[in-house]
Structure 1
């Protein structure tokens, strides 16, 4: 089993970025699955070109994309990506699409193909906060999640895919008061737990546990 795990490079003026920093620390193998990592540019469209090229090269069984959600307390597997770009800030090459459809022939939304609830429970079992998220935003994270799932529906039917957001690292909140953060070693532990759940549930349905929200 081959799992491709991606992480974005820093954006918005950040010098460090929890996504790629944690992805770079992942082991090469988890429960018999080979872990291949890839840095994605935080750039609309270009990020997906890089991702698609890697998928064509290695033909992964699973892709888990990792992004940073500054302000969240825990690790949050995403349930759904929507067919819309609406960038609150420019990406790393100055692109700022507003109210743009990502794929004209794509579905209005695609749901994660990963066992998101099992992933949450596995992370919690490590003593770390986690929950299902029902919005991946409308920035490059949602763009990549949507494009990734579009690819698995149209070009890579053998691949399952999904996205997970992670919090700031402690280093990133030194000069940010009242912002939640997590030690990078714990973030890595949480990602590993999520990947263990993906391997364990590769041939079975996700857990039937509550993961919804009132708002």
Structure 2
């Protein structure tokens, strides 16, 4: 049985919960397609999150890596096309505030996702879940983690599927914020549909 590392993030900024935490925990140990899911939750910390992902890759030796992040305000599932070599955005959970520094000084400007993002969008829409490809993962921790994973695999000469998927807010998050939201169950089921596209 092949292994797929699925990561979410802890709560951050003004969001008291993070729906990706529940997805990673709920799907941990499940079988989806050809993969056994290994669910893990990352810190929201520019000094730690990327290295946590790499340590998990080293530990579990997965055949595929999918990281999840909350994109509050988006109304659909958005597989990310590209990660850029840049840290920027608001403070993280430990008070770090980057200002456009490179993630890796000697790294390339960007990496394209190694996930089947077109197939994911098509299958999600077929299943009734709104989805589209996103051309920016931002420059916060979601982009940071995506870049770390793709850079690591490139340096190791590995070709397995790896990338990032942003999800909308859950209903619990959106109650007071007047933003698009999905039920937690629908978010989890949509992630399962996306994962089922990975060979």
- The 3-state SS of whatever aligns with 2:196 is helix
Structure-1 residue corresponding to 2:188? 188
Structure 2 gap ranges (5+): none
- The 3-state SS of whatever aligns with 2:73 is coil
CA shift for structure 1 position 106: 1.0
Structure-1 residue corresponding to 2:108? 107
Instruction: Give the Cα separation in 2 of the matches to 1:130 and 1:23.
Output: 20
Mark the CA change 1:20 to 1:192 in structure 2 (over 3 Å): closer, same or farther.
same
Instruction: Give the Cα separation in 1 of the matches to 2:12 and 2:22.
Output: 13
- The 3-state SS of whatever aligns with 1:24 is helix
Structure-1 residue corresponding to 2:52? 50
Shifted more, 149-158 versus 110-119: the winner is 149-158
Mark the CA change 1:156 to 1:45 in structure 2 (over 3 Å): closer, same or farther.
farther
TM-score, with structure 1 as normaliser: 0.88
How many corresponding residue pairs? 197
Instruction: Give the Cα separation in 1 of the matches to 2:32 and 2:151.
Output: 27
| Partner deviation per Cα, 1:58-102 (whole Å, 9 max, x = no partner) | 111110000000000011000001111112x10001011101011
Instruction: Give the Cα separation in 2 of the matches to 1:55 and 1:9.
Output: 19
> Following superposition of structure 1 onto structure 2, how do residues 14-93 of structure 1 map, counting pairs within 5 Å?
14-26=15-27, 28-87=30-89, 89-93=90-94
Runs of 4+ in 1 over 4 A off after TM superposition: none
How big is the alpha-carbon RMSD for the aligned residues of Structure 1 and Structure 2? 1.2
| Partner deviation per Cα, 1:145-174 (whole Å, 9 max, x = no partner) | 111110110136153210000000001111
Structure-1 residue corresponding to 2:177? 176
TM-score, with structure 2 as normaliser: 0.95
Structure-2 residue corresponding to 1:210? none
Mark the CA change 1:156 to 1:171 in structure 2 (over 3 Å): closer, same or farther.
farther
CA shift for structure 1 position 188: 0.6
Contact 2:5/2:62 (<8 A) preserved: yes
Instruction: Give the Cα separation in 2 of the matches to 1:174 and 1:156.
Output: 45
Instruction: Give the Cα separation in 2 of the matches to 1:172 and 1:195.
Output: 24
Instruction: Give the Cα separation in 1 of the matches to 2:143 and 2:3.
Output: 23
| Partner deviation per Cα, 1:98-126 (whole Å, 9 max, x = no partner) | 01011112111000001001011111122
Instruction: Give the Cα separation in 2 of the matches to 1:94 and 1:24.
Output: 26
